[in-house]
């Protein structure tokens, strides 16, 4: 089942610019997580935001969560060429299934040009 949906599907920016990616989901959640995937590699966890949190920072990353709109955004400030990767949001399901099962979206492919 598809839970998170990121947009845009692809984003191309210049080094130094900010990159904003959005994620929408369908059900109630315990948390929302963002992951990064470099080409040919596994995913790396970036940040987790709980359903009772509205904003969280980690270095150049800023994540917001709006549970009323069932949406989240990931902002990468002062982007670098090394930020080029695909970014995925993931949410747990609070209906049916077993808690802890993380469902991923299709990702945003970010390209940062030097």
Partner 1 sequence: GAGVSQSPSNKVTEKGKDVELRCDPISGHTALYWYRQSLGQGLEFLIYFQGNSAPDKSGLPSDRFSAERTGGSVSTLTIQRTQQEDSAVYLCASSAPGYAPYSSLHFGNGTRLTVT
Question: Which residues of the shown chain bind partner 1 in the complex (CB under 8 A)?
Answer: 30-31, 33, 35, 40-45, 48, 50, 88, 90, 92, 97-107
Inter-residue contact 71 to 20 (CB < 8 Å): no
Q: Nearer Cβ to partner 1, position 59 or 114?
A: 59
CB of residue 16 to partner 1, shortest distance in Å? 27
Using CA atoms, how far apart are residues 113 and 30, in angstroms rounded to an integer? 36
CB of residue 76 to partner 1, shortest distance in Å? 18
C-alpha to C-alpha distances, 112 to 35, 40, 44, nearest whole angstrom = 17, 18, 18
Using CA atoms, how far apart are residues 92 and 4, in angstroms rounded to an integer? 10
Q: Nearer Cβ to partner 1, position 15 or 51?
A: 51
CB of residue 52 to partner 1, shortest distance in Å? 11
CB of residue 83 to partner 1, shortest distance in Å? 19
Q: Nearer Cβ to partner 1, position 109 or 112?
A: 109
Q: Nearer Cβ to partner 1, position 40 or 114?
A: 40
């Amino acid at each position: 089942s598809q839970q998170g949906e990121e947009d845009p599907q692809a984003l191309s920016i210049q080094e130094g610019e900010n990159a904003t990616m959005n994620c929408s989901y369908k059900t109630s959640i315990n948390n929302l997580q963002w992951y990064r995937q470099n080409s040919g590699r596994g995913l790396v966890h970036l940040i987790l935001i709980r359903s009772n949190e509205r904003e969280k920072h980690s270095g150049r990353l800023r994540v917001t969560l709006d549970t009323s709109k069932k949406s989240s955004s990931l902002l990468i400030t002062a982007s670098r060429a090394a930020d080029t990767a695909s970014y995925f949001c993931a949410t747990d399901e609070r209906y049916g299934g077993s808690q802890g099962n993380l469902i991923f979206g299709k990702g945003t492919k970010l390209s940062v040009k030097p």
